[in-house]
Structures are given as structure tokens and as C-alpha cells.
Amino acid sequence: MARFSTLTDDDPRAVAGYAIRARLGSGGMGKVYLSFTPGGRPIAIKVVRPEYAEDEEFRRRFRQEIGAAQRVQGMYTAPVVDADAGAPVPWLATAYVPGPSLHEAVLEYGPLPAGTVFRLLAGTAEALTGIHAAGLIHRDLKPANVLLAEDGPRVIDFGIARAADATTLTRTGAKVGTPAFMAPEQVAGKAITTATDVFALGHLAVWAATGRPAFGDGPTEAILFRILNQAPDLEACPEEVRELALRCMAKSAADRPTPTEVIEECRSAMAGRTMSLAESWLPPDLSRALAGYRTEMAPVPPRPPAPQPAPQPAPQAVMHPAPTHRPAPAPVAPDRTTRPGRRATAAETGRDSAMPMATMVTLAAMVTAIVLLSTAVGAVLLSKSRSSGNGAGPSSGQKALTSGHGTSDTVTVTASPRERVVPPPTPDSTPVSSPPPDPHEGEDPSGQGGSGFTLAIPNGWTRRASSGDSPASVFWDAPDGVSYLQVDTQSWNSPFTADAQAQQADARARKSKSPFKGYSLIGMNGLTYQGNTAADWEFTFDDASGAGRVHSKDRFFQSNGRPFAIYLRTPDSSWSSMQDELAGFYGSFRAI
């Protein structure tokens, strides 16, 4: 399932002062983007399609629906936090829900178990209760408009469909809504009531339990005909879900239950089982996938290039007046008290006290010679010290990590087990790389030259012995003794593309002989990293020793024209606490 998409040239970088972080999706009404409030809360901003923006009737109704939507109260809706129907392109901001849509979840993981379906129906019915209490009818309740969060479902996009109903698009014959999930009265063009949403609720139950639409696939006209004239196809629907779904999809609106009655029927069906959503209510694979929707997983848009300083005007030549004739000093009367043998001072004789030019040149030459001689002697002594192994610099294979004043040390790896300390990064959100060392220092086992890198390693992390490293990889173990970082400098097949490498890795992990037993994909995400295209591959798998689930994130990228990969493996329960370290690794990596 796609979590976040990197922004393209067609996407805005800001909407009404909200900086855009990534694209969440798009649909018939417009595009949805991830942003944050000034206080740091994540929000989803829906930007309406330009053709709707050109319709004044849409704007009028959209303004009315926004006002009503902001009055909706409920735990199972995504509240509207901001909007502007009068903007050049209208937009609407709601609280961000970290989870997939029901549509995405069923396509990726298959039909949901009956217990999850009843919890889904009860939460969605409670959301409809709040929407209807505010005087709204959703009109387009479908799997794509129900998001699955850790603590229950969330209904989104309520209020927008009615505004779209008034546009010239619908007045010229187009229908707003998803045909497969329309109620008979919508298809027939009759009055819309709250029971219309209940019909769609029943259809959600069938989709969640079977992964198939209740009225089949095919041309839109055929689907609409079945909605009006045929019973829904519930053959694959579990029997315990079937009866409630059939009641909700009654042809006559008067025969459908209310949302409150749906909640009670779900409670009755779950008798003896908890309806609580405080614990995980989703299947294990789907529950683990929610980690991929945390906002820290969103790609960070590349920063615009820093403005270049304005060119300074060339200095203008200044004509200084020629020196004038120096007046002779006034005559000085002889000092009658001067003792015999005492030399008269310059002030007494009227002579200039400056050192003669010949003397100054001689002294400068002597000082320069002394400095050059001292430098040469020091270089010889330092060379002898290093060759004897007693100097400060590490010899090949030595570990030279020391605790710095900050929280990490910056190490330089030159593709051999050789490291040396350079000044730690500055305490800034953007780590500053130290000047790269001589790229010829150390041995390059790949035989290609220049495959080293610099990286900030947190205190307490230890480099594995060189005998345990693969020829093209370097490992560091975390203080917990389980988590580890791996930097891979191997050369992949040419031409290298980060996206293709991530897809190939995913395909290998899915094979029966994969080392990742119990492999579960969280997501693959393209992004821009250090100015180049990169790809993140995130997944979980069973630890071979039986210690539980392992969470992994692998980043494939190029730097200085060479392919690299950064892998972080950690227990799934520790993943959240490792995010600062992971951000530090990404921020401090530099190829040399």
C-alpha cells in the first residue's frame, strides 16, 4: 500500500500558509496532502479540483457544508480543522488519520474477519450518527472514505459530495459518488435521506467481509440496473454478517435500520466478545502495517537552494597623494648634562627611530628559515611515531572511536576496517559533515576506489570486528545487543535504480527460501535523499532465534555517483525509540 508520495512539480509546496510535506492520495474531488499545524499536529489537506473551483454554485454550497462539517462531533470522524471556500482553489483540512483506507486494506490483506467487520460497522455507524446530527448526509460513503486507525475507523469527506451535486458537472448529466455504492434512490434521482448512508453502510460490510462489491463489476449502467432491480450478491458473505448487511441494503429506505439500531445489532452479534477498540481490533498483519503511516515516514521535500550572496562591487582604486617633503627636525640644543660615553637618543639627535630596511630584511629571512626547519623536523618525528604504532592515528585494523562531548562520534570508513575520529557534528538539525579525509587513505576491497563514507555513530554503539564484516558491508551494534546498523557499499547491477533495487529485495523476501521468515511488507516509498532519487523498503519478520518480530528499514540510494544502502534492524517493540538514531544516520552520511 502506498503511504506517502514524494511531491512532484505539479504539487503545491504550501496551501494557505501550511507547508506541504507529501502527497497522500488523489480522487475525483481533488488531491490530498500531508501538512502540519503551527503547533506540530499532522493534518490532511484536500485541494479541490480546478473545474469545481470555477463553479460559483459549488463554492456557495461548499461554504455551507464546511460550516456544518465543523459542527460534527464524534470519535469516529476526522474533524475539520480549517478550510477556505473562497480561495482561488478551495481547500479543506482535517485531522490526519495514520492508517489505510478500507479499500486499500482489503485489496492488500484480503477480507476482514467477522469480529473486525462488526467493530468496523459499529464505529462507522457511530460516525454517521454525529454527521446526521449536524444536518449532513455523507452521500458518498465507500471503502475509500473509511480509514482504519489503531483505535478504530474514521469516516472522512463528509459534506463535500453535496456541494459537488450542485455543480455544472452534475447538471450536465454526470453523477457524483461511486456508482457501486449508490443507494437506489440516488440512482433513480429521488430525495436523499440519512437512510441513503445506511444503504452504503451495508455495502461496506459486504466489501469488508468478502473483498467484492455486492452488485458485481462491469459497466456502470449494468451496476446501476442491479442496484435498482436485483438483490445483492451475498453468497460469499459470512452468515453472521449477511443478515445485517441485507437489512441495511433494503430497496426501500423505510425498511433500513437507523445507525443507532446498527450499533445495537453489532453488539448483539458480538455477545461474549469484547467490542472494545482499545486493543488491536485489526488482523495482525494489518495492525503491523499501521507503522508505515506514521508521519516520520513521510519523505522530506528537498530544500530549495540557498540564495547566493549578491556580488560585491569591485574595489575602486584610490589615488593617494604623493608624499611631501619631510621637514627637517627643529634644531635641538646640546644637553650640557650628558655624561661622557652616553649615546644620545633619537629624540635628542632628531634622527628617525625606525629600524634600517637592511636590518629588517635580514631578521625576516632568519625567522622564515627557523619556521621551515621546525616544520620539517616535526613531520619526520610524526612519521616515525605513526610507523611505530605509538602515535595518535590508528594503524590499519585498529579501532579509534572515543567518546566525544556530544551524543555521537563521526567516523570515517574507507571501505576497509579502518576508522578514525574527526570532530563531532554540530548540535544542529542538519548535521554538518567534517572535511573529508584523503580519499586515497586505506584499502578499498571493492577494487573500484572511493567507496568510503563518513557517518555519525551514537555513543555506546560498537563496530563489529572486521572478521565479521562482509567484504562490502560495515556493521555497528547498538547498546541493547540486538539492534544493529549496516552500511552496504557493494555494486549492484548497472544501471542502478533505487526503486528497482527495493522491488527486487521485496520479491526475494517473499520467496519460500527467504531468510526473512514471516515477512510482512510495511511499504516501499520513493523519496529524494541528498539530491538523488532513493527508495525506502520497510518490513517486519520473525527473528530466527524466536525472540519476536524484527522491524527493518532499508534505504537504497546513490551518492557521488555510487550505490549505497543503509539498513537498520531492531525489535519491533523498539522501533519508535530508534527514530532519532535513524534520522542521525541519514543526516550525517557522506560518501567520500
Residue 459 dihedral angles phi and psi, to the nearest 5°: -60, 140
CA atoms of 570 and 478, how far apart (whole Å) = 9
* CB distance 134 to 197 below 8 Å: no
Tell me the residue ranges of DSSP E strands in 12-122: 14-15, 18-19, 22-26, 30-36, 42-48, 80-84, 91-95
Residue 24 dihedral angles phi and psi, to the nearest 5°: -95, -30
CA atoms of 279 and 151, how far apart (whole Å) = 8
What separation in angstroms does the CA of 483 have from each of 91, 292, 462, 475, 575?
A: 43, 19, 11, 11, 10
Classify burial at 469, counting beta carbons within 10 Å of its beta carbon; exposed 0-12, middle 13-18, buried 19 or more: middle
Residue 46 dihedral angles phi and psi, to the nearest 5°: -95, 120
Closest C-alpha to 3, from 56, 42, 40, 41? 42
Cell of 370: 627557523
* Per-residue DSSP letter, 245: H
What separation in angstroms does the CA of 568 have from each of 99, 388, 540, 576, 585?
A: 23, 38, 11, 12, 10
Tally DSSP H helices, then E strands, for the chain: 16, 20
Cell of 212: 467484492
Mention every residue, 6+ apart, whose C-beta is less than 8 A from residue 107: 211
Place of cell 485541494: 47
* CB distance 572 to 543 below 8 Å: no
CA atoms of 7 and 22, how far apart (whole Å) = 6
- Say how many Å lie between the first and final Cα of the chain, rounded: 35
Residue 526 dihedral angles phi and psi, to the nearest 5°: -80, 145
* Per-residue DSSP letter, 17: T
Known active-site residue 572:
no
Catalytic residue among 11, 55, 140, 285: 140
CA atoms of 571 and 582, how far apart (whole Å) = 14
Mention every residue, 6+ apart, whose C-beta is less than 8 A from residue 185: 191, 192, 193, 196, 253
Q: Is 142 annotated as a binding residue?
A: no
* CA torsion through residues 292, 295, 301, 302, sign: negative
Q: Residues annotated in the binding site for ATP, as ranges?
A: 46
Residues belonging to the active site: 140
